[in-house]
Structure 1
């Protein structure tokens, strides 16, 4: 571990000690669920430890002028990801409920499908809303580009650009 990494680790530990309980209470008020709040609070600090270069410059003293504001921003992003994953899972479960019982997949198959959907969601994370929407409408709904363009109120040419952008993101992030 380099001296700079050690300084970062020490600073994150101090930040954790000073603000973890506050962050967890804040998340619990947002979520209404203690276990989810604890998980997201932990994930917030893990994000700091795993990506310190995004918040500091190399070889500089590490500190945040507004630590709670920064923690809130990180936690809100993680919260949005949680809500998006849950909405995706619920949409999948709702579609399964509409299927005839004879065609319902096994629990293991459902798990694999849900994992795949969440992996796709992670690959599309960070793309603009219309790019994500165009990709999902084309891939999951099978909509033609002209219909997607109408629904998104953009040109068909824009839909084609969106598809290229989304597919490129998926290829780059494919495991």
Structure 2
């Protein structure tokens, strides 16, 4: 698929996709941004479609995923803002620092969502809640040894995430 094909898909489907996103999000600005992002994906990773309906099915699926990503980012952002507001002393940070923290939190959230549920739960209980292996094992109904395996698996994913971040920063 070349730029001309994407241009044709854009003219055939953009209005429909924008309307779909606007109904789903209730916000024209977000709908415009996500419609744009859907077509950018087609430029980055070209696809061909057998039919008009096939293109719409693909765009609808992409739009659904983009909405979920937007909602998750907003949940993470709200949690960050709530944590800042809960600080005993007024705490301010630069917009750049906030953006970096939100990007990191979003990446960690995405990593945790890719892990099996018990692995993600064990990691959060151990790191965030500072629970012992025995406490985590009792909570999850597994052995201490299994908790250590879960933690090792989660830490491996953290190291991979950190390596990707370091590669992107270079």
Q: Please report the TM-score for the alignment, with normalisation by the length of structure 1.
A: 0.73
- CA-CA distance at 1:129 after TM superposition: 4.7
Q: Which runs of 5+ in 1 are unaligned?
A: 1-6, 56-61
Q: How many matched pairs? A: 159
Q: Check if 1:14 corresponds to 2:3.
A: no
Alignment correspondent of 2:17: 23
- After superposition, where does 1:1-175 map in structure 2 within 5 Å? 7-52=1-46, 55=47, 62-65=48-51, 66-102=54-90, 104-108=91-95, 109-124=97-112, 126-149=114-137, 153=140, 155-156=142-143, 159-173=147-161, 174-175=164-165
* Distance across 2 between alignment mates of 1:48 and 1:148: 44
Instruction: Answer whether contact 1:44 1:74 (CA < 8 A) is retained.
Output: yes
* Distance across 2 between alignment mates of 1:119 and 1:69: 28
* Distance across 2 between alignment mates of 1:150 and 1:9: 56
- Structure 1 residues 50, 94: CA separation in 2 closer, same or farther (over 3 Å shift)? same
* Distance across 1 between alignment mates of 2:157 and 2:129: 20
The alignment's C-alpha RMSD in Å is 2.7
Q: Please report the TM-score for the alignment, with normalisation by the length of structure 2.
A: 0.74
* Distance across 2 between alignment mates of 1:20 and 1:79: 16
Secondary structure in 2 matching 1:11: helix
- Structure 1 residues 107, 143: CA separation in 2 closer, same or farther (over 3 Å shift)? farther
- CA-CA distance at 1:160 after TM superposition: 4.1
* Distance across 2 between alignment mates of 1:129 and 1:11: 41
- CA-CA distance at 1:69 after TM superposition: 1.3
